[in-house]
């Protein structure tokens, strides 16, 4: 189990590094576009969210669970915030899909199902808000955000592809955990066998010693 935890921590560190380094390019471009368009809410939100990723990357003293939940939470906020503020469907949906897959790696099945269901409900809720005209955003995507049926289509595509990825990762993770458990059990059995062997050897030596002592007494 230590190996599984170490693997998850490594995935978390690598994912945070990718979010800060590679995602920094996207954040920088978004910030520049927001400043040029004088969209100060988007600019401020970009700075705050990117700062959150940077803090999590270097906050190595935080417990693993806190960092992992913080990372998943930030990805969720980025996805939802992008849908509501910028209106780009492709990138935010991809972010939410990646978040769901990461949840299956960083945590166990229960958290994964919660995250996946939350993202599906969120997509439909955002679609309802935009299609009802409660918020208006510009979009350069193929899908018109004003049509709720398009959001159902997006949520369906998200569920299919993300579900396949999550199930695949879950199967691989379970096999890995089972392999690690079997390995740990084998090591414990070997240790037990070695201890029994040592005990048997000690008993044999003690018996031989008693036999020699008895033999000496008989000769005496």
Q: What is the pTM of this model?
A: 0.63
What is the residue extent of each domain of the chain? Answer: 2-182
Q: In 3-state terms, what secondary structure has residue 89?
A: coil
Residue 55 pLDDT = 93
pLDDT digits (tens, 9 = 90+) for 161-210: 565 466 556 656 666 667 767 777 777 777 777 777 777 777 777 777 77
DSSP-assigned letter for residue 137: -
Residues 6+ apart with CB under 8 A from 80: 92, 96, 122, 126
Residues 6+ apart with CB under 8 A from 53: 16, 19, 20, 23, 71, 74
In angstroms, the CA 57 to CA 192 distance is 42
* Window from 14-18, 88-92, 184-188 with minimum mean pLDDT: 88-92
Contact by Cβ (8 Å): 138, 87: yes
Contact by Cβ (8 Å): 144, 206: no
Q: DSSP letters along 57-91, please?
A: HH-TTS-HHHHHHHHHHHHHHHHHHHHHHT--SHH
* Window from 11-15, 63-67, 101-105, 138-142 with minimum mean pLDDT: 138-142
pLDDT digits (tens, 9 = 90+) for 92-149: 777 888 888 888 778 877 888 888 889 888 888 888 887 787 877 654 444 555 667 6
Residue 140 pLDDT = 44
Most distant pair of Cα atoms in the chain: their distance: 110
Contact by Cβ (8 Å): 58, 78: no
Locus of tokens 């008993």: 203
Residue 124 pLDDT = 85
Q: How many residues does the chain have?
A: 220
More confident residue, 169 or 36: 36
């Amino acid at each position: 189990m230590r190996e599984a935890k170490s693997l998850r921590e490594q995935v978390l560190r690598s994912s945070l590094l990718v979010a800060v380094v590679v995602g920094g390019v996207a954040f920088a471009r978004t910030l520049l576009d927001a400043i040029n368009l004088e969209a100060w809410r988007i600019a401020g939100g970009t700075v705050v969210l990117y700062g959150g990723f940077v803090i999590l990357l270097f906050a190595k003293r935080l417990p693993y669970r806190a960092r992992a939940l913080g990372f998943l939470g930030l990805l969720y906020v980025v996805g939802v915030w992008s849908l509501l503020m910028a209106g780009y469907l492709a990138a935010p949906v991809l972010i939410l899909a990646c978040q769901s897959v990461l949840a299956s790696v960083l945590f166990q099945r229960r958290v994964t199902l919660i995250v996946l269901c939350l993202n599906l409900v969120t997509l439909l809720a955002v679609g309802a808000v935009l299609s009802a005209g409660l918020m208006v955003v510009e979009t350069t995507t193929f899908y018109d955000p004003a049509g709720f049926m398009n959001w159902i289509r997006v949520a369906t595509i998200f569920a299919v592809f993300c579900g396949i990825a999550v199930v695949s990762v879950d199967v691989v993770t379970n096999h890995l955990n089972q392999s690690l458990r079997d390995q740990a059990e084998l090591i414990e059995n070997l240790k037990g066998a070695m201890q029994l062997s040592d005990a048997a050897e000690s008993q044999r030596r003690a018996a031989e010693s008693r036999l020699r002592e008895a033999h000496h007494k008989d000769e005496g």
